[in-house]
Amino acid sequence: MIDTLYPLTASIEAGRLHLGGIDCETLAERFGTPLYVYDAATLAAQAEAYRGPLAAVGGRAIFAAKANSSVGVLRAARAAGLGIDVASAGEIAAAVAAGFAGSEMVVHGNAKGDDDLTAALDVGAGLVVLDAREEAERLGALARARSVEVAVLIRVTPDIGVDTHEKVQTGHAGSKFGLEPDAVAALISELPAGLKLRGLHVHLGSQVVDSVPLRSAAGWCAAFCQRIGYRPSVLDLGGGLGVAYVPGDDAPDPCRYATALVEAVLAAFASHGLAAPQLLVEPGRSVVARAGVTLYRVRTVKETSAGTTWVTVDGGLADNPRVALYGARYAPAIATRLLAPPTGTFAVAGRHCESGDVLATSVALPDPRSGDLVVVPVTGAYHQSMASTYNLFGRPAAVLVENGEAREITRRESVEDLLSRDL
């Protein structure tokens, strides 16, 4: 389990989990719980797995900020050599705070407002991905008002299905994202002044564990470009590579995945007599998910007449909404007794006033008790960035661990913070 789900620096010493050379109990005592913990070494290694194969052919990996938009994590992504994919004025501001230049940004979003487009212009974004004709017209008008030209991609929906949860499928017919092929062809021929078309963007979905659909997308794009007589200089195949969340899950290799995409693009465009475009890939989850764990304290343990024994922790739905949203599975463990044999099967619940606030069911644990430290691995992606303040619980702190040192990168939200926006 520790080999596939936990950060690369994880170790067990006297039955206790250590990350980045630090005992997790020490982290919990110092920073409190719930606590997001990110391992810098794991993030760097996952980023390099993409960066190497893509750089070899002049491509680039662009980190999807939506996966984890904390400035500390974004700084680590930039230090690892990644560009950044942003979807709002807020994410653009976070990227700037993390040290990214505008030229390193790809700006996304299916319903960008003028505030988002203006923010992209203000920083000189490298690429803006057009999602609708109206958006192209508004961006063109904003660009002409500044006497500038904006490099753009057009997001195309190729109607290629992927085997993932329906709520994170994005490339199928009827998707709210992108334009259908005929609409893309029309926009290419009628692109508003002020915009310079660089190429196409495709994204099929998230938590995809097989590279076959993305290879199919590469072939589809090459055939489409040949059919309409268009020669793109950039092809952005999006992201979405999945990760293992529980023992037994598929754990795709990002390096092998990136290499397969490079080979597919080169082969597909060559087979249609076209020069291969620069390849961009936008990994998010597969860069940061395994790098993160969340630490909780057990509040109560109680049995029910239905046979379920509930282990309730001091966080839950607000800091990890994925279980309620997608039925996501996790493998909680007692961080200070990782080698102890289980004494039974338990359900781990959060403290929020929802019956759906359950982090995991049927988990084998060693005699959980009030005060125990629970660790939930693979929480680096779509946890902190999707966290809420439901029940007016403050959002957790976050720390980055590296070489035996821990640095707080997000402070815990206080009651004063929670009430600061109310008038």
Instruction: Reply yes or no on domain 40-285 having CATH 2.40.50.100.
Output: no
Q: Produce one character per residue of 377-416: b if its CB has 16 or more CB atoms within 10 Å, e if not.
A: bbbbbbbbbbbeebeebbbbbbbbbbeeebeebbebbeee
List where CATH 2.40.37.10 sits in the chain. 11-32+291-419
pLDDT at 135: 96
* CA distance to 74, 75, 369, per residue, from 91 (Å): 10, 13, 40
Each of the 423 residues of the chain gets a pLDDT tens digit; together they read 567 899 999 999 999 999 999 999 999 999 999 999 999 999 999 999 999 999 989 999 999 999 999 999 999 999 999 999 999 999 999 999 999 999 999 999 989 999 999 999 999 999 999 999 999 999 999 999 999 999 999 999 887 654 443 433 344 456 677 899 999 999 999 999 999 999 999 987 656 666 677 777 888 899 999 999 999 999 999 888 889 999 998 888 999 989 988 999 999 999 999 999 999 999 999 999 999 999 999 999 999 999 999 999 999 999 999 999 889 999 999 999 999 999 999 999 999 999 999 999 999 999 999 999 999 999 999 999 999 999 999 999 999 999 999 999 999 999 999 999 999
Query: What is the per-residue pLDDT for 161?
Result: 53
Measured CA to CA, the distance from residue 194 to residue 139 in angstroms comes to 8
Among residues 299, 295, 292, 293, the alpha carbon closest in space to that of 314 is found at 299
Residue carrying structure tokens 């092998």 = 256
Residue 34 preceded by cis peptide, ω within 30: yes
Q: Give the whole-angstrom CA distance, residue 110 versus residue 119.
A: 16
Could you give the CA distance from residue 311 to residue 134 in angstroms, rounded to a whole number? 51
Spatial distance between the Cα atoms of 142 and 264, rounded to a whole number of angstroms: 37
Cα radius of gyration rounded to whole Å, the chain: 22
Structure tokens at 397: 């702190």
Domain ranges in the chain with CATH number 3.20.20.10: 40-285
How far is residue 316's CA from residue 395's CA, in Å, rounded to a whole number? Answer: 11
Q: Tell which residue, 241, 236, 202, 218, has the closest CA to residue 47.
A: 241
Which tokens hold the place of 351?
């403290």
What is the model's pLDDT at position 174?
Answer: 62
Per-residue model confidence (pLDDT) at position 203: 80
Give CA–CA dist 327/360, Å, rounded.
10
Reported as type and span, the H/E element at residue 30 is helix 24-31
Residue with tokens 């002020």: 194
pLDDT of the residue at 162 = 43
CA within 13 Å, CB half, 217: 32
| pLDDT for the residue numbered 143 | 98
Fold topology of 11-32+291-419: Lyase, Ornithine Decarboxylase; Chain A, domain 1 (2.40.37)
The two structure tokens encoding residue 385: 């960035």
CB-CB neighbours of 178 under 10 Å: 24
388 sits in which H/E element: none
pLDDT tens figures, 67-108: 999 999 999 999 999 999 999 999 999 999 999 999 999 999
Q: Which of 221, 225, 255, 353 is catalytic?
A: 353
Quick one: pLDDT at residue 18? Answer: 98
**φ and ψ at 153, to 5 degrees?**
-115, 155
Amino acid sitting at position 204 = L
Q: Is 225 designated active site?
A: no
